Amino acid sequence: MLKIGDFSKLSHLTIKALRFYEREGLLKPASVDEWNNYRFYETSQLDTAAKIRSYRQLGLSIEEIKAVFAGADVKEILQEKISSLTSEKHLIESRLSIIRSIMEENEMKYQVTEKVIPEKIVYSAETVLKVYSDIMQWIPSVGEECLKLNPEMNCSETAYSFCEYLDGEYKETDIRIRYSEECAQIGKEDNQIKFRTLPEAKVLSIYHKGSYANINEAYAFMMKYAEQNGYTVAGLARECYIDGIWNKESEEDWLTEIQLPIE
């Protein structure tokens, strides 16, 4: 039997932590002296201590560790932890990107160009997103639905595609959005998938590199440029996603083109 101090040294858990895990019912002493309340542990309990320490280092909560010890599927709990940590990673990267932009010595500069988008046939779908980040899950589902309706549809990986925001104001939740993608011909429609012909359009184009969290800076730059140079806005801005979460690990490498139809 090991005294609590000796067990603390071997398990690499502080005495304070051992007392806490005892109160939580995760690691109770093998025996407690009824006269002096000295706690004693068995060497076999070092394995339990090691598991607790390992799970805590992975960020599992006390309740999650209790669930594991009670027989819950540890793989399911760890998969949930992966999802949680991934979301935190994206949030941290967004904040870091904004901080770096603020700390840059020189003001962020954008290059605005004017170009013509030829007439195109596109299929489109509209929805209401609960939050902006849901867009990257929704867009692939739209493509899958269109292809299911039109198995012979020819849409290349480099086809012209974009999103338009339909609310007429900035919203953080319940966002109305329309996605459009170029295709070779008009196909079958359903309640969601619709086809239309986009007329030739003259647009101002600007590229935003980095997190979507500060893409509003690019919009502000473009609108100011249009106003100062006498352009008249002739339609909704189009967001074209060139590089993003699907092919770049870091938000700093995401690339989005914003196109503003003008007259």
- Output the pLDDT for position 211: 82
- Output the pLDDT for position 103: 66
Sequence-distant contacts of 76-81: CB under 8 A, at least 24 apart: none
Residue 158 has pLDDT above 80, yes or no: no
Secondary structure percentages of the chain, helix, strand, coil, to 5: 40, 25, 35
Residue 1 has pLDDT above 60, yes or no: yes
Q: What average pLDDT does the segment 228-242 reach? A: 90
User: What number of helices (H) and strands (E) belong to the chain?
Assistant: 7, 11
- Output the pLDDT for position 131: 86
- Output the pLDDT for position 157: 64
Residue 203 has pLDDT above 90, yes or no: yes
Residue 102 has pLDDT above 60, yes or no: no
- Chain centroid to CA 90: 5
Beta bridge partners of 257: 207, 240
- Output the pLDDT for position 154: 72
Dist. CA 175–CA 68, nearest whole Å = 39
Burial of residue 238 (number of CB atoms within 10 Å: 0-12, 13-18, 19+): buried
203 vs 110 pLDDT, higher one: 203
Residue 123 has pLDDT above 70, yes or no: yes
DSSP structure class, residue 167? S
Dist. CA 21–CA 261, nearest whole Å = 63
| Domains, the chain | 2-72 (1.10.1660.10), 113-261 (3.20.80.10)
Indicate the pLDDT class of residue 40, thresholds 50, 70 and 90.
very high
- Output the pLDDT for position 94: 64
Indicate the pLDDT class of residue 224, thresholds 50, 70 and 90.
confident
- Output the pLDDT for position 125: 95
Beta bridge partners of 125: 179
Residue 133 contacts residue 163 (beta carbons within 8 Å): no
Helix (H, G, I), strand (E, B), or coil: what is residue 28? coil
Region label for 149, one of left (φ > 0), alpha (ψ between -120 and 50) or beta (otherwise): alpha
Q: Which amino acid, residue 73? A: D
Q: Closest by alpha carbon to 86, among 136, 130, 139? A: 136
- Output the pLDDT for position 15: 94
Indicate the pLDDT class of residue 178, thresholds 50, 70 and 90.
very high
